[in-house]
A and B are shown apart, each in its own frame.
Chain A
Amino acid sequence: MKIMNCPLNGPRNISEFTYGGEFKLMPDPASCSDAEWADYVFNSDNAAGVVREWWLHNASSYWFLAERHTVTDQIIRTFDAKEIFTQRVEFTPPTQEIAG
């Protein structure tokens, strides 16, 4: 069984984790086109190579990110999401709503 290194709990059996999907940044929902939004919601790159993925350590309900090579299944590194999300995310109200 594969071992994954949880940034919070250290190396654990892969059976303790749940895959949380490909990591992708959300386009600005207020300004992106329908096609861009649909692409974000429904399509995955499914690349052969190193990809970023969400993983959850089940027992501690801790989400983190992993870089994994999808061909060799080698986990290159795992890290806390705050490495990418360095500050509080804000959503701005759509202008026409404010006008209305």
Chain B
Amino acid sequence: MSRLPAPMGLLIDRDQPLRFSFDGSDYQGVKGDSIASALLANGRWLLSRSFKYHRPRGPLTMAGQDANTLVQLPDEPNVLADAHPLSAGMDVTGQNFNGSLDNDRDAYLGTFSRFMPVGFYYRSFYKPKGMWKVWEPLIRKKAGLGVLDLKFQPQYYDKAYLFVDLAVIGAGPAGLQAALTAANAGAKVLLIEQQAVLGGSLTYARFDVEGTRAERLRGELVAAVEGHANIQVLKQATCNAWFSDNYLPVIQGRRMYKVRAQQCIVSAGSFDQPVVFRNNDLPGVMLASAAQRLMRLYAVKPGQRAVLLTGNDDGYLAALDLHEQGVQVAALVDMRQQPADMALQSAVAKQGIACHLGSTVFEALHEKGMRHVSGVDIRRITAQGQVAEQGLQLDCDLLCMSAGYMPVYQLLCQAGGKLAYDEQKAEFAISGLPQGLAVAGSANGRHSLDNVLLDGTLAAARAVAALGLDAGIGERAFSGEARVNFDWPIFPHPKGKDFVDFDEDLQVRDIVNATRIGYRDVQLVKRFSTVGMGPSQGRHSALPTARLVARATQRSIGETGVTTARPPFEAEKLAHVAGRAFDPYRQTPMHRRHIQAGAKMMPAGIWQRPAFYGKAEDRERCMQEEARHVREQVGLIDVSTLGGLDVRGPDAAELLERMYTLPFKKQPVARTRYALMTNEQGVVIDDGVCARMADNHFYVTATTSGVDRIYQQMLKWNAQWRLNVDITNVTAAIAAVNLAGPLARQVLEKLCEDVDLSPEAFPYMGVRSGTVVDIPARLLRVGFVGELGYEIHVPARHAERLWDMLMAAGAAFGIRPFGVETQRLLRLEKGHVIISQDTDGMTHPGEIDMQWAIGRKKPFFVGKRSIEILEAQPLKRKLVAFTLPKDSPQPLEGHLVLKGADISGNVTSCEYSSSLGQIIGLAYAATDQAEPGMQIPIRVEGGLVVQANVVQLPFYDPQNLRQEL
């Protein structure tokens, strides 16, 4: 198949043939072809079958903007044939047909269209209830698009980040001019273009009778842009959305650029609009711009004998293009009474082209099988949307149409831009853009080339001014220009098939009927009829739909508007947006030792901690053995995850007085004190110990999961209080262990020489600074597990050595490590609550017997006033201790406590204690169930109710003798 001579064929290299196949037949294209241009060059027009009626379809836009060109590649479905580059050996097939693309057995569906009115599927298959499940697979198969290759080879997709002064979206005349103007003023510019070449309409359209200006101008602009040091160009790249403050996802190949632009100009152009008439979807019926693209970009002659239907002067220029390339133009049909520029009419007439003014194509004609347009029925327009009874029939194999333009408004509307309909120009215009975003060129309603260029210049001048630069350009006036939109290019036919939406096979009556059924709002019309929901997302259907809905509901087109534009602008692959999954977790600096010792690890907040040491299936035995070891000998637990805050400064004690419930000003140096924190609602949110290291220095511990929040709260309060204090979160800098058990002192004595460890010199609740062998350490005597114990806090880098030295020194005393689950059992035996396990978002100190921890004489602490108010009210529930016999079913956390038919509380902790030989636990219960000696019914697994005995805390060592040894 021969191609048109140069300069036609901007994108192709005639010397590099490429063989490929489509639907089983072999074809030859050339390098630079799209799949569709190569097929059209071979005379193959039927590329797909329509979604609903299986009508034959060929390219409409030749710009990747319509669903007619969706084809199947072996590893990729729903490929746009007019946008996808051809490659050697490509195996392309059609999709959505039954039998073959040329002889689709489902094409009969078109003849049933009057039985498939708008909303057909909703109305026919959803009743009776449940029937949709039966119908859906059958309907989906009939309407199915491509097929996924389940054996696909994963490919690498990545992200890149760009930061620029100005992003220009669309490299047509306005975009090129804007980029140049801004770059010349010193701005760093990113120019984003969907096509493989720069120039936009300059690459395919004609702007003057001579037909020379576009190419000359394009050459000048592109040379200046591509050589400019301040301009980065991304070709074959799509800005697929606009997000706040010009955050732009730009997809190019297998990469997504996340672009942050200080200023952004959208010069994305406008979409050529089809005319609505019967059979306007036949292969061979295409937009005038599509025929121009075929010739100028691919050197493909779009037909032998053409009819051109237009509503503006551009149609005359397209007719001249066709004529020059040897296409016989049988008629130029202008819907207007006359062209705006009469010189065009004489230029066309000079070529022997007949003009039919005030007329339209009423029906595109075809032969059996509807495989290609074969002629037109031309009628005079008698009134809006109405035509004369009789017309003129002409043969043709190409029908080009252009009803006007719709701005590419999608990104602008995502940014909050509003569309208003200008009745004078019959065009939508955009306003209300946020700061830093502008629109230029035909997207801004400028259509003459001089105005487009000036609009680009002025938009860039304003953008660089906002950047603090000067383009040295004053405001200049635009020249007048002719209207480009015909106000009513819709000609309903009594027999229908006058398509408004090609993707969804929607005809004029479908839209009108949707309004008659009661859907007046264009958003509802969309949802009911599915107009604009197809792959082309309303690029060609939004304008006629707005017009039809407006007229059917007696409103203005401006009032009717268009449906909401949302990202993405065009289809994007999940691979483009998918990221690597991060599941961050933290390990303590002793982590390796736990693994080596065979620990079963568990998550604790974002930390990994040893649950116990042994196999998962030996949980119960390991826990009980470890617990007994702590009670009888000595154990070692890694408590590095405990939060640590260093509070220093003259107001350190004052800050803690305000943050925690107890007073701290009179706390002696070298002593620790329990610290309970409530929020402003009086709810208990954290606890720990405050160790006073010096007058102006406290070391405060916080819960593993709470410390970050507590730290932030301290900083937030002190942003208001302005106390002279410095707060540092030292959690990660410090590693800690708890050496616990009756033999703990003997173990530590072997390693610590500079601290007198005797009970008299270093009593319970004391804190000392010293060294463990040679490691500087803070030693805290605490009693969380209820035995003699030393928390040893050291710089994290010494963690493993500390662990090793303690294990070695303890060997003679039978030391063994114990895990978090064992610790939870041990503390439960002592009745110590764990904040956020035994408390919830409502717990105040009175409910957990913590009134003793309230510093009532302090003028203030966070939560004080709320606690006072709560305490003045009757208590609603209370945390109680309960026991059950060893052989009873064991309640789990969350099991309900009952009171008659009501729920009065829930279990928060429950374990079997081998030290006590019974099941022990904590639970919320009603206040009149909470006295020791009472029984509370707990509903356990399987609905069984057990009667638990309420007892006094602690379960173990009630005199607290052991921890104070």
- Please determine whether A1 and B247 come into contact, CB atoms closer than 8 angstroms: yes
Within 8 A of B (CB), among A54-100: 54, 56, 61-64, 73, 81-82, 85, 87-89, 91-94, 97
**Cβ-closest chain A residue relative to B246:** A3
Q: Is the CB of A81 within 8 A of B856?
A: no
Which residues of A in the span 1-17 have a Cβ within 8 Å of any Cβ on B? 1-3, 14
- Chain B contacts of A92 at CB under 8 A? 859
Chain A: CB-nearest residue to B869? A34
Report whether B715 and A61 are in contact in the complex, using a CB–CB cutoff of 8 Å. yes
**A63:B865 contact, CB within 8 angstroms:** no
Taking the closest CB of chain A, its distance from the CB of B260, in whole angstroms, is: 8
Q: Given the known inter-chain contacts A30-B859, A41-B866, please indicate yes or no for A61 contacting B712, CB distance below 8 A.
A: yes
Of B245, B680, B719, B722, which is within 8 A of A2 by CB?
B245
A93 touches B866 (CB 8 A): no
CB within 8 Å of A: which B851-893 residues: 856-860, 864-866, 869
Q: Quote the shortest CB–CB distance from A52 to chain B (angstroms).
A: 13
- Asked if A29 CB lies within 8 Å of chain B CBs, one says yes
Q: Does B721 contact A37, Cβ atoms closer than 8 Å? A: no
The reply to whether A85 and B716 contact each other, CB–CB distance below 8 Å, is no
Chain B, range 679-706, C-beta contacts under 8 Å to A: 680-681
**Distance between Cα atoms of A63 and B720 in the complex (Å):** 10
Is the C-beta of B131 less than 8 angstroms from some C-beta in chain A? no
How far, in whole Å, are A28 and B857 apart by their CA atoms in the complex?
16
Number of interface residues of A (CB under 8 A): 31
The reply to whether A38 and B869 contact each other, CB–CB distance below 8 Å, is: yes
- Kindly state the separation between the CA atoms of A62 and B711 in the bound complex, as whole angstroms: 11
Q: Are B712 and A88 in contact (CB under 8 A)?
A: no
Q: Is the CB of A29 within 8 A of B860?
A: yes
List B contacts of A41 (CB < 8 A).
680-681, 866
Beta-carbon contact of A89 and B865 below 8 Å? no
Which of A56, A61, A73, A82 is packed against the most chain B CB atoms within 10 Å?
A61
| Cβ-based interface call for B229 (8 A) | no
Provide the bound-state CA to CA distance between A92 and B719, in Å: 19
Given A3-B245, A61-B711, A85–B859 Cβ distance below 8 Å? no
B755 in the interface, Cβ–Cβ < 8 Å?
Answer: no
Q: How far is the CB of A42 from chain B (nearest CB, A)?
A: 7
**Interface: B120 (CB within 8 A):** no
Determine if B243 is an interface residue (Cβ-Cβ < 8 Å). Answer: yes
Q: Of residues 709 to 726 in B, which have CB atoms within 8 Å of A's CB atoms?
A: 711-712, 715-716, 719-724
- Chain A residue at minimum C-beta to C-beta distance from B714: A61
C-alpha spacing A42/B181, complex, angstroms? 55
B866 proximity list for chain A (CB < 8 A): 37, 41
Q: Does A49 contact B (CB under 8 A)?
A: no
| Smallest CB separation, B40 vs chain A (Å) | 42
Partner of A1, one of B244, B724, B857, B865: B244
Give every chain B residue within 8 A of A34 (Cβ-Cβ): 869
B716 and A88 within 8 A (CB): no
Chain A hits for B865, CB < 8 A: 29, 32, 37
Contact partner of B860 among A62, A81, A88, A91, CB < 8 A? A91
Cβ distance B893 to chain A, nearest Cβ, rounded Å: 29
Separation of A54 and B712 alpha carbons in the complex (Å): 12
Contacting residue for B721 out of A3, A32, A88, A93, CB 8 A: A88
Alpha-carbon distance A35/B858, docked complex (angstroms): 22
Give me the interface of A with B, judged by CB distance under 8 Å.
1-3, 14, 20, 29-30, 32, 34, 37-38, 41-42, 54, 56, 61-64, 73, 81-82, 85, 87-89, 91-94, 97
25 A-B residue pairs with CB within 8 Å? A1-B247, A3-B244, A29-B864, A30-B860, A37-B865, A37-B866, A37-B869, A38-B869, A41-B681, A41-B866, A56-B712, A61-B715, A62-B715, A82-B722, A85-B722, A88-B721, A88-B724, A91-B658, A91-B859, A92-B859, A93-B859, A94-B859, A97-B856, A97-B857, A97-B859
Q: A3-B244, A73-B244, A85-B720 are in contact. List 18 more A-B contacts (CB 8 A).
A: A1-B247, A2-B245, A20-B716, A29-B860, A29-B864, A30-B859, A38-B869, A56-B712, A61-B711, A61-B712, A61-B729, A63-B719, A85-B719, A85-B722, A88-B721, A89-B722, A97-B856, A97-B859
Chain B interface residues (CB < 8 Å from chain A): 243-245, 247, 260, 658, 680-681, 711-712, 715-716, 719-724, 729, 856-860, 864-866, 869
